[in-house]
């Protein structure tokens, strides 16, 4: 029989102001859960996650947590107040009996020493410290809200691997498609205040969502046609019996009420880049360019040619100088040696992803108009600012809203709106995907695909790079940059490995070995493999493959949404077998890793 859920939310509702944010939300987290929570920006995902974590109270509904269950919640904005170092912050989240060394191990794995002062942390460092605090206790339930925000590619891939190994139940909010696809086995969709769940990972969600919208639109069309028919009868069918007339009129009122209550999906942003006059064939050419800051080499002997129509993606860990490289290629920064030659007729627009150019005291309208009137110039054509804001999903009343109260996603949409209003033939986008929901990301990708000019893109989003980039320039360390044809996946195939973290010049602090880690256990072992271990190492891959095949079949059985109603006994049996097989698979993988590392040592 399946184990009881660790946490449940039933019939949760919450209203801020007028329209309910959450109306009928359900959430069930079982042991070993791997679920993603998806929905448009502003749909209430973070609020529902806070309710699940116990940090917010709903207006209606029940929250039940199994006694003794431990929950850790990663918020988008961690609170470091009261801590002198991030090691203190991380260790404060440990309970008696937790591994005291795990917090330090996680911090070092994320490139931190633990001695950093919270007040001096960058956005990426703050995110890494908060992740270490959430992961350190190895809780029963992990609730992670945008865990990849501000992380570079090596950190994202490390986190992905760490979460795959974790035994904690997991619920994720993220805009990173590749991350969600790799980790989720169920998808919870929060749409117009209601949750819907499918027992499949994010890879199957978008096709299912689109089919749902199509069916919903058909049902709405049928309802509207029925209302028209009933209204026609009301006007001309006066010969029917009076009692029947009253009942039919009541039914018509019910149909009208259902039609009014139907909340249509939030619209999509309308993104079109305003294209300037065509540039020359050459955009930029670097000839043996080098740039250093003190002893640190940012660019070393780089030769590169960017021509009109190129889609160049720049990737590398934080701190390797991606922004410096962009400034060199666009002429904003002079090299120490070598030559930068820029093409003719360049009209460049640079998206400042640090949002430093947004005045927090200015209103949304003032950001677009420059404080001059109520119109915005979009590629030489005057448009009313409210109409232009609607293209980017801003409500009319938000035109007078100060920038300081906007969410991260709204600020990013505002920056993109201002960027796209300017005529250009060269777009330089530095992390444009931060805080955007998946639907807006799709639209941004389509817009960039239609843009006839040249694109230089910095991103840590692997899926976005695959969809947009035609070439990828990768940091190889020590100022060396190498160009590969294709997107991120193509680069992996050619390079044979992903993007490694930048080496720190500080010597890592020593820590006590973790005996429960397969890798550390293998390193500590000095004995050779015996006959039994050699046989086990040889046969484990076959056993792992068999377990994976069995798990795939069980998931296929459980993906039938009507199974529980038809055959609850079969559903319970399949759930129990799946849980047992997953535990056995994790154990087999850990054992194989232990033996393999012992053999290598």
412 annotated among ligand-binding-site residues: no
CA-CA-CA-CA torsion sign (229, 232, 234, 238): negative
User: Any known ligand binding at 320?
Assistant: yes
Both structure tokens of 64: 């039940």
Q: Is 258 known to sit in a ligand binding site?
A: no
The DSSP bridge partners found for residue 142 are 72, 170
Residue 41 marked ligand-binding: yes
- Tell whether residue 424 is among the known ligand binding residues: no
By the 8 A CB rule, do 69 and 82 touch? no
Any binding-site annotation on 321?
yes
Find out whether 318 is annotated in a ligand binding site: yes
Which residue in 116, 205, 147, 189 sits closest to 460, CA to CA? Answer: 147
396 labelled ligand-binding: no
Rounded Cα gap, residues 126 and 150, in angstroms: 9
- Exposure class string for 454-463: b at 16+ Cβ within 10 A, else e: bbbbbbbbbb
Judge whether 93 is annotated as a binding position.
Answer: no
DSSP state of 281: S
Residues 6+ apart with CB under 8 A from 468: 311, 313, 445, 448, 449, 455, 457, 487
* Residue 42 among known ligand-binding residues: yes
Distance CA 290, CA 285 (A): 13
Structure tokens at 566: 């038809």
User: 40: annotated binding-site residue?
Assistant: yes
Give the other-Cβ count within 10 Å of 584's Cβ: 15
Check the annotation: does 319 bind a ligand: yes
Using CA atoms, how far residue 498 sits from 122, 386, 475, 489, 490, in Å, is: 24, 44, 11, 9, 11
Count Cβ atoms within 10 A of the Cβ of residue 538 and give its class: 0-12 exposed, 13-18 middle, 19 or more buried: exposed
In angstroms, how far is CA 568 from the centroid of its own chain? 35
Check whether 532 is labelled as a binding-site residue: no
45 a known binding residue? Answer: yes
Flag whether 84 is marked binding.
no
Residues ≥6 apart with Cβ < 8 Å to 196? 188, 189, 212
Answer whether 216's CB lies under 8 Å from 188's CB: no
In the 8-state DSSP scheme, what is residue 437?
-
Q: Which long-range contacts (CB under 8 A, 24 or more apart) does 582-590 make?
A: 582/32, 582/551, 583/32, 584/547, 585/544, 585/547, 585/548, 585/551, 586/165, 586/167, 588/540, 588/543, 588/544, 588/547, 589/544, 590/518
Is residue 334 within a helix (H) or strand (E), and if so which, with residue range?
A: none
- Consult the annotation and say whether 39 binds a ligand: yes
Binding residues, as ranges, are 39-46, 316-323
Binding residues for ATP, as ranges, are 39-46, 316-323
């Amino acid at each position: 029989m399946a184990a009881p859920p660790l946490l449940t939310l039933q019939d949760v509702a919450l209203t801020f102001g007028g329209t309910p944010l959450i109306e009928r939300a359900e959430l069930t987290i079982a042991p070993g859960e791997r679920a993603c929570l998806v929905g448009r920006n502003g749909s209430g995902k973070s609020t529902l996650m806070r309710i699940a974590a116990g940090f917010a109270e709903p207006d209606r509904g029940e929250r039940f947590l199994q006694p003794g269950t431990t929950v850790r919640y990663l918020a988008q904005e961690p609170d470091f107040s009261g801590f002198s170092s991030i090691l203190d912050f991380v260790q404060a989240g440990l309970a008696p009996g937790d591994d005291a060394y795990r917090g330090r191990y996680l911090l070092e794995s994320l490139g931190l020493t633990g001695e950093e002062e919270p007040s001096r942390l960058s956005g990426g460092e703050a995110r890494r410290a908060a992740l270490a605090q959430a992961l350190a206790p190895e809780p029963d339930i992990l609730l992670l809200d945008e865990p990849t925000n501000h992380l570079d590619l090596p950190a994202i891939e490390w986190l992905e691997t760490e979460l795959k190994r974790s035994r904690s139940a997991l619920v994720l909010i993220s805009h990173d498609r590749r991350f969600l696809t790799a980790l989720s086995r169920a998808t919870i969709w929060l749409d117009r205040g209601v949750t819907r769940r499918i027992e499949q990972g994010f890879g199957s969600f978008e096709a299912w969502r689109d089919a749902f919208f199509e069916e919903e639109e058909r049902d709405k069309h049928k309802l509207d046609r029925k209302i028209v028919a009933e209204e026609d009868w009301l006007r001309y069918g006066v010969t029917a019996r009076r009692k029947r007339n009253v009942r039919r009129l009541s039914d018509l009122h019910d149909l009208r009420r259902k039609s009014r209550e139907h909340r249509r999906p939030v619209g999509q942003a309308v993104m079109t880049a305003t294209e300037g006059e065509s540039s020359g064939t050459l955009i930029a050419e670097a000839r043996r360019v080098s740039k250093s800051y003190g002893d640190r080499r940012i660019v070393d002997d780089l030769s590169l040619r960017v021509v009109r129509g190129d889609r160049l993606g720049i990737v590398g860990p934080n701190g390797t100088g991606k922004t410096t490289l962009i400034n060199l290629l666009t002429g904003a920064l002079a090299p120490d040696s070598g030559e930068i030659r820029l093409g003719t007729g360049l009209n460049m627009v640079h998206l400042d992803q640090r949002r430093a150019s947004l005045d927090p005291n200015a209103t949304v309208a003032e950001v677009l108009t420059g404080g001059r009137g109520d119109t915005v110039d979009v590629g030489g054509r005057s448009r009313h600012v409210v109409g232009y804001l609607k293209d980017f999903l801003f409500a009319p009343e938000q035109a007078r809203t100060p920038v300081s109260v906007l969410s991260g996603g709204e600020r990013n949409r505002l920056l993109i709106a201002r960027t796209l209003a300017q005529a250009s033939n060269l777009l330089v986008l530095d992390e444009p995907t931060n805080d955007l929901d998946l639907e807006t990301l799709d639209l941004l990708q389509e817009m960039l695909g239609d843009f006839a000019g040249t694109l230089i893109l910095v991103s840590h989003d692997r899926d976005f790079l695959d969809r947009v980039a035609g070439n990828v320039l990768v940091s190889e360390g020590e100022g060396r940059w190498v160009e590969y044809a294709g997107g991120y996946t193509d680069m992996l195939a050619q390079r044979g490995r992903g993007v490694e973290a930048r080496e720190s010049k500080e010597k890592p602090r020593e820590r006590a070995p973790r005996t429960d880690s397969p890798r550390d256990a293998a390193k500590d072992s000095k004995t050779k493999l015996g006959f039994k271990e050699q046989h086990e190492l040889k046969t484990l891959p076959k056993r792992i493959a068999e377990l994976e095949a069995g798990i795939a079949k069980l998931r296929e059985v459980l993906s039938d949404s009507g199974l529980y109603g038809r055959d609850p006994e079969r559903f319970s049996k399949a759930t129990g077998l799946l849980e047992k097989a997953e535990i056995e698979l994790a154990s087999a993988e850990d054992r194989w890793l232990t033996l393999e590392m012992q053999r290598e040592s």
